[in-house]
Amino acid sequence: MGTYKTSDFRKGLKVQIDGEPYLMLEMNFRKPGKGNALYECKMKNLIRGTTLTRTYKGGDTLESADVEEISCQFLYKQGQMFVFMNSKTYDQYELTADQVDDNWKYLKDGMDCQMILYNGQPITLTPPNHVELVVEYCEPGVKGDTATNVTKPVRVETGAEFICPAFVNIGDTIRIDTRTGEYLGRVS
């Protein structure tokens, strides 16, 4: 396994601390008046989802994490397990509802996703940045209610609810940003 020197530290780096993989979320360089340069790092544990803040001196090193990002396809949900298939090797992986977290809101059968494997085991998943979902249920909009920013909750094909403008109807296909959960627009 490789190591990273402090000069290699940057956002998005995957490192191993105390035997667990971490993703570097932030890295701030600070050079006090005298003494060594300091690297303040905010990291997210890829298994538990907790965050950690550590400060390193210039010249310190961190081990690289044995993580691999693969392209996979969502196949189906079985009870509390979500089943995915590696797009290249056709290996199947199962993630628990806790590992999938709120990403279940965007998963449709056959959807392509990115999965992170740690020592060959799946630990987390990232859906595409934007998904298109069909509205299954919503209250009808009130005629004449054209005031700005009138919204209502709508339920989509995955069972999730999103806040959308009042003009969205049952059967419409809407585009959602998976990073924020925000409505982006209707798809024609």
**76 shares its domain with 109:** yes
Q: How many residues does the chain have?
A: 188
Per-residue pLDDT for 188 more than 80?
no
Averaged pLDDT, 43-71: 89
Mean pLDDT of 161-177: 92
- pLDDT category of residue 120 using cuts at 50, 70 and 90: confident
Q: Please tell me whether residues 148 and 103 are part of one structural domain.
A: no
Both 110 and 141 in one domain: the answer is no
Same domain, 78 and 46: no
Residues 149 and 165 in one domain: yes
Question: pTM above the 0.85 mark?
Answer: no
Q: Which of 1-5, 51-55, 138-142 has the lowest mean pLDDT?
A: 138-142
- For 88-118, what is each residue's pLDDT tens digit? 999 999 998 888 888 999 999 999 999 989 8
Tell whether 79 and 106 lie within a shared domain.
yes
Contacts of 88 (CB under 8 A, 6+ apart): 70, 71
Residues 114 and 140 in one domain: no
Q: Which residues pair with 112 in a beta bridge?
A: 73
pLDDT of residue 146: 61
> 122 and 161: one domain?
no
pLDDT tens column, 12-50: 888 999 888 998 999 999 888 888 889 999 999 888 888
In this structure, what CATH number is given to the domain that contains residue 23?
Answer: 2.30.30.30
For residues 40 and 72, membership in a common domain is answered with no
Domain end call among 126, 141, 176? 126
| Segment (H or E) for 91 | none
Answer yes or no: are the C-beta atoms of 103 and 125 closer than 8 Å: yes
Does residue 10 sit in the same domain as residue 60?
yes
CATH number of the structural domain spanning residue 101: 2.40.50.140
Instruction: Note whether 42 and 51 are within 8 A (CB).
Output: yes
Boundary (domain end) residue, out of 80, 104, 126: 126
In angstroms, the Cα distances linking 180 to 42, 88, 152, 176 are: 21, 29, 17, 8
Give residue 143's pLDDT: 67
Return the percentage of the chain with pLDDT > 90, whole number: 54
Three-state secondary structure call for residue 62: strand
Instruction: Evaluate whether 94 touches 125 at the Cβ level (below 8 Å).
Output: no
Number of domains within the chain = 3
Mean pLDDT of 129-141: 90
| Same domain as 71, residue 59 | no
Which residues contact residue 136 at a Cβ distance below 8 angstroms, ignoring those fewer than 6 apart?
155, 156, 157, 170
Q: Which amino acid is at 115?
A: M
CA pair distance 22, 15, nearest whole angstrom: 5
Q: Which residue, of 64, 95, 114, is where some domain finishes?
A: 64
CA–CA dist 2, 34 (Å, integer): 31
In this structure, are 117 and 135 located in the same domain? no
Residue 12 lies in domain: 3-64
